[in-house]
Amino acid sequence: MPLEFPEDTTLASRYVKQALPMMIKNKIAPNPCNFALWYAYVSNRDLALNKKLDVTIKEKGTCPDIVSRELFKKHVIKEEIALQKNLQESLSNVVQELVSSVNDTKNQTNTFTQYLETSLNEILSDPDPVHIQETVKNLIKTTKDASFLANEFQSQLQTAEEEITALKQQLDQREEDAYLDALTKVGNRRAFDRRLVELFQDTDTDATLVLVDLDHFKNLNDTYGHLMGDKVLQGVAKVMQKTCPDSALAARYGGEEFAFLIQGNADAGARVAEQTRQLLGKLLLRKKSDGQVIDNITASFGVAQRTAGEYPEQLIERADKALYEAKETGRNRVTMAA
């Protein structure tokens, strides 16, 4: 699905004011394609896009149109294009089958009408009982054939309706999958960005971000292997799903870093973080190959509540600083942002 952008006018205006000067500075034509790219850049919606734009500007001093178009397709609407193309092709197949059925039905109906008129004319012109009886038999047979064709068409309509319903279910599932991390089955970065935008648009409700970073994850990967590292990430995600409030989002922020987006104050965020920290301490994973147990899984937590007039990237920065402090002061702890 496409990138999520804020509907809040204040937040959107801020991004516009940041994007336009950057475009002018780097000699970027202010067309819709380029504007979408740089709007996404300043709102930090796609780190891969930001990195690519940074490299392009550094190497070329600007971003050529051909590069902009490719980045636009890849990072802004690629998945939407693929989804719409797939949906269009599937619906086209259904419609083509229906058109064929309609044409067949139309032709058979015309044939039946013509035969009916011919038969009536024959009855009127030749009232012989034997001839009339034979004509009526043929009419009955033709009527049955027409009835069978009508039933077939009705069946095809029912099949088409079922196929369209299945397509809608696939579309809904695809949209759901677009916001799910494939490995851990919690929200992905896109889901995180979307929920963050929603929370910032609701200025009447407290919002708190909890960043979660696994301690010494690189050492764990080096010691036990990447497959076991993936198992650890999955185990952490399951713990987070248990501790995540119904109104909150648990997401994989990137790599071994996770996040909670909580509709509540910092105390609510700290409670979720502490509960998660304690459950992680009880997490036990076993290697199938040799039965070796991994039970030293810990994480550090940075908690920050949104303040008045704050923007999403500022909230992330404060939570990240709190997380860094938790790491620097011993790890396996929860630290509140200033």
Catalytic annotation, residues: 256
Tell me the residue type at 138.
N
End-to-end CA distance of the chain: give it in Å, rounded.
36
What is residue 335's three-state secondary structure? Answer: strand
Contacts of 77 (CB under 8 A, 6+ apart): 2
Task: Please give the angle made by the CA atoms of 175, 176 and 177, to the nearest 5 degrees.
Answer: 90
User: What is the rounded CA–CA span in Å between residue 230 and residue 236?
Assistant: 10
* Beta-bridge partner residues of 257: 213, 254
What is residue 254's three-state secondary structure? Answer: strand
User: What is the rounded CA–CA span in Å between residue 80 and residue 85?
Assistant: 8
Estimate the share of the chain in helix, then strand, then coil, as percent rounded to the nearest 5: 65, 10, 25
Quick one: how far is CA 145 from the chain centroid? 49
User: What is the rounded CA–CA span in Å between residue 1 and residue 14?
Assistant: 24
β-pairing verdict for 299-305 and 334-336: parallel
Tell me the residue type at 282.
K
Quick check: 1 and 79 in contact, CB under 8 A?
yes
Quick check: 279 and 235 in contact, CB under 8 A?
no
User: What is the rounded CA–CA span in Å between residue 275 and residue 199?
Assistant: 23
Task: Please give the angle made by the CA atoms of 255, 257 and 260, to the nearest 5 degrees.
Answer: 135
What is residue 81's three-state secondary structure? Answer: helix
The alpha carbons of the chain give a radius of gyration, in whole angstroms, of: 32
